[in-house]
Structure 1
């Protein structure tokens, strides 16, 4: 396997086709109107798929803000030398992208409240962050957690862009929202990790916080989805459970496609941009760039 440094897009300093920024990252404002809301079962009438994705959205405003804070705090510890110039630029663009994600999902979540859904995930996450700060957790630990969650979201983004064709049946504006988010998660998937490496973060703590993130994400996403389905009145319908089983364990289920990249994080020479087995033009980054190019009328470039 190629070494970490070889895989870093920031170290390579090669802007992609979707960005004129030296870091290869672009801050975009999504041009969709959530003011009119969307159907309760916006995912092609499927209660489980709608409420699972709604649960994920509920985590984003608090989660994205914590990622912004972690990257900003740790970037301040990185010397502003020529060798780190692109990484500093990437962190600024990362913060811009995450801020736009936080904003659009706050609007999304506001509509979910009008549908009678209750966002508990934001309170669970807020309490954990406050507890860690109270105990004096160092910025590098928050960054390790951020790198872990960024890998989780990048793996889910890969699944959505590469395999999740069922999204084609969803409300068009929701298709756009989720694929735009997936494309940008793919773009900036290495920033927190590269910053952690540049600050000499340890492998041991990287793995400890990854195990923590996987556990917490799995538990929180499950219980928030169950709560959503409960309030939706569809928790005990057989079709709900059948849909969940197909999504995770079906022939093209998420478990089969996500397991290998999730386990890859344990490698000492891991890097988020490693896609050794993907054919040319089929790497997730290429798929993301292609989607962004084909749907350029869906967003406005900010910087």
Structure 2
């Protein structure tokens, strides 16, 4: 049986949500919106990458089952963030990087399977680090619109749950250290440039770029007490260790705690038997 469970949150976003849904914080809202805008394309790329692994590389029945449920979880994330992004579009926030990102994804599809998986591993490490931060520091979502707090924490919980799947597929497909390390450095630069560019675009669209409070919030979010910069630094560098594996940092307790506290917020829609 798979170690994963495919779930859907009990959410309806059709009625919309406030423009500054992160408790009125313009910067944090813009940053989280920028992440969400990238998710549908990114998650489809993750799905395509693990599916591209040759069947003879995934002989372990447990890993095969995990891959299937990894796909199910990522598909659910993509669907929910498409709804979220549709509301952003109605509010006038466009994904300005979308044409470029589609071009990049198409280029990645043409790479050898190991390279595609190495890129997926790198991005999955970033989603896992951000997920750990969101669940470990609930104050990050404090004041958020309740449905969206559930959306983001559910997404974070499942990112922790499946954080090793792409990595294990990469190794099963013969992927080695240097390829994943080099791609991680490349992906890190692209990820932060793209995310910050889209965040600034969102702020510009909101006419908030030149407000002092915007950048006070940004400085506090990144470099204040329990800021993201301090929290992401050690695990971010840890990926470059030859001995790295996602579960060397075992944070499943965060996942269990969230699921136990939010069992009415999500529903299981399937598990895979090997």
- Matching of residue 130 in structure 1 with residue 106 in structure 2: yes
Kept after mapping to 2: 8 A contact 1:26/1:301: yes
Alignment partner of 2:79: what SS? Answer: helix
Could you tell me which residue of structure 1 aligns to residue 72 of structure 2? 96
Could you tell me which residue of structure 1 aligns to residue 269 of structure 2? 302
- More RCO (CA 8 Å, sep 6+): 2
Structure 1, unaligned stretches of length 5 or more?
Answer: 1-21, 276-282
Could you tell me which residue of structure 2 aligns to residue 63 of structure 1? 42
2:85 equivalent among 97, 109, 128: 109
Alignment partner of 1:74: what SS? Answer: coil
Could you tell me which residue of structure 2 aligns to residue 119 of structure 1? 95
Give, in whole Å, the separation in 1 of the partners of 2:19 and 2:208.
Answer: 11
| TM-score w.r.t. length of structure 1 | 0.87
* Residue-by-residue CA offset, 1:231-290 (whole Å, 9 max, x unaligned): 111111000000000001112100111100000001111000112xxxxxxx52111121
Give, in whole Å, the separation in 2 of the partners of 1:185 and 1:76.
Answer: 24
Give, in whole Å, the separation in 1 of the partners of 2:77 and 2:265.
Answer: 14
Alignment partner of 1:220: what SS? Answer: helix
How many residue pairs get aligned? The number is 270
Give, in whole Å, the separation in 2 of the partners of 1:77 and 1:30.
Answer: 35
Structure 1 segment 135-174 matched on structure 2, within 5 A: 136-174=110-148
Change (3 A) 1:77 1:227: farther
Structure 1 segment 179-218 matched on structure 2, within 5 A: 179-218=153-192
- Matching of residue 47 in structure 1 with residue 23 in structure 2: no
**CA RMSD across the alignment:** 1.2
- Matching of residue 233 in structure 1 with residue 236 in structure 2: no
Kept after mapping to 2: 8 A contact 1:30/1:300: yes
Change (3 A) 1:191 1:79: closer
Alignment partner of 2:175: what SS? Answer: coil
Give, in whole Å, the separation in 1 of the partners of 2:210 and 2:117.
Answer: 39
Structure 2, unaligned stretches of length 5 or more?
Answer: none
Shift of 1:51: 0.8
Give, in whole Å, the separation in 1 of the partners of 2:140 and 2:62.
Answer: 37
| TM-score w.r.t. length of structure 2 | 0.96
Structure 1 segment 25-40 matched on structure 2, within 5 A: 25-40=4-19
2:245 equivalent among 271, 274, 294: 271
